Amino acid sequence: MNNDQIWQAVLGELEIGISRANFITWFKNTFIHKIEDDKVVVSVPNDFAKRWLEQKYYKSIKASLEKITEKKITEVSYQINLQKTETKNDLIEKETKKVEKEEVKPAVGQIKNLNSSGLNPKYSFNSFIVGKANELACAACHAIMKNPGKSYNPLFVYGGVGLGKTHLLQAVGNEFIKMGKRVLYTTSEQFTNNYIDSIKSGKAKEFKNLYRNVDLLLVDDVQFMGGKDGTQEEFFHTFNELQQGDKQVILSSDRAPKAIPAIEKRLISRFESGMVADVGKPDIETKIAILEKKAKEKNYILEEDILKYISNSIQNNIRELEGALNKVIAYHEFHNIKPSIKTVKNVLNDLTNNNQIKPIIPKDIIETVCQFYNINGKDLLGAKRKKELVLPRQISMFLMREELKTSYPTIGEELGGRDHTTAIHSFNKINKEKEENEKLNQDIISIKQLLYGSF
């Protein structure tokens, strides 16, 4: 195995125990820089990721590396933005792999690069298994491909995380590309960022051109437009223009239009004006079919009873199902053994034990906020009124109330014996300010990601 393969296998293992948001936050753009004897150097994109990996994931990364390389690792160090050291093998592989898998490119920056539609070719209908839980959404997509802009416009797909919404949107996008049509895939966050950037840089016209001159606009995760008034306004006009020109729009969200918080009524009515289709959790037959397909894609054969066993063990979503499969394959390939129910059970047990869900308590919030802002817990709870401490303090109180519904007197207690009126004031202040201050809002989102992903 070369370094990339080793790292992919490590990530495959780690991914299972971590929420997707965290996984992406911490492991995006990481790779093994080099392995020298028993020392591994990992490159990370920034200091924040470095600290987090060192503190939170040191043990699991080391253990995983040892398991995969089957040797003792004495040290894993993290450095920022190193180059990959390429072995001869890597170079040969690169040369021969002409048809590279393309990663999803964010629409951010696409004002400069109009060709890129933000699609990942790996998401196709071919690799999408249809079952009861997604057949309506899937049928709507097929109808759209036959009759773009006219049959269901917009199509609004909603459902929980990891149930195939992005896959479906991208699959339609890829089909449209094959038909020679112009496609743009974006997430509502990218749309927002792009919109803000375009205003700042005086490129509002380019922005409009980018989003309005397409045959198909795919907007993933529109729930994040909630509370962003400027973005909603802009999107409303973009949407109207596309719809009036019979250009197709497909949207996804983690909940139904009416359930999106802080979204304008006129947008809800637009979202509902075409077809609304939900995707649900797959039944056991669909799970088995998905596993079989994914295993085949990896050239790995698993017996029916094992597929069934894995399907029964994983309840939540398809992403977790894939994670479990990856782990099963990785484990058996590394040990060069044939999977049996017993060995698979061991691998999956390991997985569920590592992943025990602990309820979050106020102390976790304090700890996470301190880590995020790189401050000392004692200072946070203390009396100093420095600006660097006041905001994190207020955010801690806000999160305790918002996330844990802790009573105000208890929040005061947790924060080093403050008065409950301080807790009320802090909650109200942050609640209001985060609507107006995007940086603060983003900070809070990141802290929440840390909070729920840490184990």
List interacting residues with Mg ion (CB under 5 A).
Answer: 165-166
Closest CA to 169 of 160, 178, 156: 156
- Smallest gap, in angstroms, from Cβ of residue 163 to ligand ADP? 4
Q: What angle do CA 203, 176, 215 make, to 5 degrees?
A: 40
Is residue 319 near ligand ADP by the rule CB under 6 A? yes
CA dist 293 and 403 (Å) reads 39
Q: Which stretch binds ligand ADP (CB under 6 A): 9-17, 155-163, 262-270, 433-441?
A: 155-163
Classify residue 218 by burial, with Cβ atoms within 10 Å: 0-12, 13-18, 19+. Answer: buried
Q: Considering the complex, what minimum distance in angstroms separates the CB of residue 170 from ligand ADP? A: 8
* Nearest alpha-carbon partner for 353 in 383, 390, 327, 326: 327
Instruction: Give yes or no for residue 327 binding ligand ADP (CB under 6 A).
Output: no
Per CB under 6 A, does 167 bind ligand ADP?
yes
Mind spelling out the 3-state secondary structure of 225-274? HCCCHHHHHHHHHHHHHHHHCCCEEEEEECCCHHHCCCCCHHHHHHHCCC
Residue 118 exposure: Cα atoms within 13 Å on the Cβ side: 26
Q: Which residue has the tokens 């994040």?
A: 224
Could you say whether residue 164 binds ligand ADP (CB under 6 A)?
Answer: yes
Residue 129 vs 430, nearer CB to ligand ADP: 129
Q: Contact between 344 and ligand ADP (CB under 6 A)?
A: no
Using the minimum distance from each CB to Mg ion, give the nearer residue, 117 or 166: 166
> How far is residue 120's CA from residue 101's CA, in Å, rounded to a whole number?
8
CB contact at 8 A, 324 and 314: yes
Chain residue at closest Cβ approach to Mg ion: 166
Q: Which does 421 bind (CB under 5 to 8 A by kind): Mg ion, ligand ADP, none?
A: none
Q: Which is nearer to Mg ion, 166 or 193 (CB)?
A: 166
Q: 95-154: which residues touch ligand ADP (CB under 6 A)?
A: 127-129, 134
Nearer to ligand ADP, 44 or 324 (CB): 324
Least separation in angstroms between residue 324's CB and ligand ADP is 12
Question: Euclidean distance between the first and final Cα of the chain, in Å?
Answer: 29
H or E stretch including 203? none
22 binds ligand ADP (CB under 6 A): no
Give me the least distance between CB of 169 and Mg ion, in Å please: 8
| Contacting residue, 104, 136, 161, 196, with ligand ADP by CB under 6 A | 161
Nearer to ligand ADP, 118 or 164 (CB): 164
With beta carbons less than 8 A apart as the criterion, state whether 158 and 185 touch.
no
d(C-alpha 372, C-alpha 380), whole Å = 12
Provide the token pair at 284. 């056991």
44 contributes a contact to ligand ADP by CB under 6 A: no
Choose the one of ligand ADP, Mg ion, none that binds residue 129, judging by a C-beta under 5 to 8 angstroms depending on kind: ligand ADP
* Binding to ligand ADP in span 273-292, by CB under 6 A: 290
Residues 6+ apart with CB under 8 A from 57: 14, 26
Contacts with ligand ADP by CB under 6 A lie at: 127-129, 134, 161-167, 290, 318-319, 322
